[in-house]
Structure 1
Amino acid sequence: MAKHPIETHHFASFDGTKLAWHEMGAGRPIVLIHGYFSDANTNWIRYGHADAIAAKGYRVIMPDLRAHGDSDKPHGSAAYPPDALAQDGHALIAHLGLTDYDLGGYSLGARTTGRMLATGATPGRVVFSGMGLEGIIHAERRQDHFRHILTNLGKHERGSPAWLAEAFLKTTGGDPVALLGILDTFVSTPRGAVAAFEWPAVVVNGREDDDNGSAAALADLLPHGRLVEVPGNHMSSVTKPELGQAIAEFLAG
């Protein structure tokens, strides 16, 4: 159970889609974006990461991406244009009137953070977690993997990566049709653009996590990036307190 009270709010994004965000703590704002198939509660609240960050004097703002969590889950393709998630992030920042804030995300949330930076976001500090360089510069590299999972539910070999992903999907109550739409929103960020990200940045990644490529390569390419490794793989590192502690220490540093 979270130590800090949590508030949940909703707003209409750039195209009218109703999106939810959750908040805890007070102080400097940090917008944290969750991963694919997940939601703000699973990624940031359940395992104490948001609490650890709030304890450092932060207002932790955690949206549920469209098609996830408490946000709308539209089925029409019109709701999933390229870069829709980055546009949602910009819309939330505008809705809240944030001008001095930090920004970060896990997995798809980290890729979305990159897209927001490439399309005009102006945070003070940046967090990339559960993400490697290939996952940002080649956003399409896992589309087929996820499309296979979502179009063959109930048919995956027990214990396989696809089966584990489906099991996780069940725990979050994901909508497979809406989540398929999310795949159409993926946009790559060119290597040169990433190399021009001048913000202080941390790459926090599980030691056994190479799902989105090399976290070390991402940290090396970022002009002011550094790598912090935490225990676990892409799925398990989210459950480890070290992940939230690493982010909190970077932000407070």
Structure 2
Amino acid sequence: MDGSTVTDGSTAAGTAMTAGKAATADAVTAEAVTVRGVRIAYETAGDPRNPAVMLVHGFASNRSANWVRARWTGPLTDAGFFVIAPDLRGHGESDRPRRLSEYALARFRDDLLAVLDDQGVGAAHLIGYSLGARLVWDLAVRHPDRVRSLVLGAPAVTGSFAGFDLAAARAALAVEAPGVGRGGEADAVTARYVAMMRGVAGNDPHALARLAEAQRRAGFRPRAAIPRQPMLFAAGTEDPLAPAVEELAAELPHASFVALPGRNHVTAVTSREFKAAVVEFLTALD
């Protein structure tokens, strides 16, 4: 954006990206785009001539763990959608800057828009889970012309990273051995986030701690600015966030809610009911 977005020619599509898309409509393609010096990795699947769906993963996860291994790609491409799945900055194969300012909401907006631009997509359906849901909400509010609809899995509608203590997290990361969940004198909330940071092999917990703090400072007050696009909310019945998510959905005439029986915040993404509800929601719009 503002002249700072550059495509990465080392991707599987290479410099012949456009021709490759036409020739490999059903292939999974790994690609990347650089935004203000930060490389954002992503992959695509399906026919790029079809309506686009972007999958935005949660905190301390990545596109593979949240979506690919949870088998979201197949149902969406089979239903006639072109799937785009980025690794958020700080996660997966994307760069992990350690400056707190690099995790402002505006940076994530720029990243997601750059990925859409790199694929020549004007507007897409957005599916976000947890942190991803918060980010796609923000994108839909700020750039409504780029968003066709929203699927919001377990967003923290009562506050994003509420209770996270950056100083305590840094102290915990300084003294813990890798793989240990709780750290030092960290409170229970911060200790849980530290465990999440270390829960996926290859994560950079120090970068993720800065991300968590940046998002805590930004806050999330969804009722202050509501996207106008059709929305589907979802949450597991065993997720403590579910009642607040369902309450918000009930307040919005252009939103619906699906409860995922027996699922919690971690297991909801693998739910067949979740995938089926999303496919039904999206196909009704296209």
Counterpart among 164, 185, 190 of residue 214 in structure 2: 185
CA contact (8 A) 1:40 1:63 kept: yes
**Is the aligned partner of 1:31 residue 2:62?**
no
Q: CA, structure 1 residues 166+181, in 2 after alignment: closer, same or farther (shift >3 Å)?
A: same
Conserved 8 A contact 1:132-1:216: no
Shift of the 150–200 alpha-carbon distance from structure 1 to 2, 3 Å rule, reads farther
Shift of 1:246: 2.0
Per-residue deviation, 1:224 = 0.4
Does 1:204 find its partner at 2:234? yes
**Unaligned residue ranges in structure 1 (runs of 5+):** none
Alignment of 1:31-180 (within 5 A): 31-122=54-145, 123-134=147-158, 138-144=159-165, 151-152=171-172, 153=176, 154=180, 156=182, 162=191, 166=195, 169-180=198-209
1:197-242 deviation per Cα after TM superposition (whole angstroms, max 9, x unaligned): 2211100111111248611122123330000111310011123332
SS in 2 for 1:113: helix
Normalization by structure 2: what TM-score?
0.75
Give TM-score scaled by structure 1 length: 0.84
**Distance in 1 (alpha carbons) for counterparts of 2:102 and 2:194:** 24
The structure showing larger relative contact order (alpha-carbon pairs under 8 Å, at least 6 residues apart) is 1
Contact 2:197–2:205 (Cα < 8 Å) also in 1: no
Equivalence for 1:19: 40
Q: Which runs of 4+ in 1 moved over 6 A?
A: none
The whole-number CA distance in structure 1 between the counterparts of 2:107 and 2:213 is 9
Amino acid at match of 2:96: K
Match of 2:249 among 203, 219, 223: 219
What secondary structure is seen at the aligned counterpart in 2 of 1:210? coil
Give secondary structure in 1 for the equivalent of 2:203: coil
CA, structure 1 residues 155+89, in 2 after alignment: closer, same or farther (shift >3 Å)?
A: closer
How far apart in 2 are the matches of 1:129 and 1:242?
13
Deviation at 1:5, TM superposition (A): 4.0
Q: What is the letter of the counterpart of residue 252 of structure 1?
A: T
Distance in 2 of aligned mates of 1:49 and 1:104? 11
Task: Determine which structure has more spread, i.e. the larger CA radius of gyration.
Answer: 2
Report Cα offsets for 1:20-58 as digits up to 9, x if no partner. 011112221011100000001111110212211111111
**Secondary structure of 2:116's partner?**
helix
Task: Give a deviation string over 1:118-148, Cα, whole Å, max 9, x none.
Answer: 21143221110122532xxx3352533x875
Task: Mark the runs of 5 or more structure 2 residues left unpaired by the alignment.
Answer: 1-25
Aligned length in residues: 241
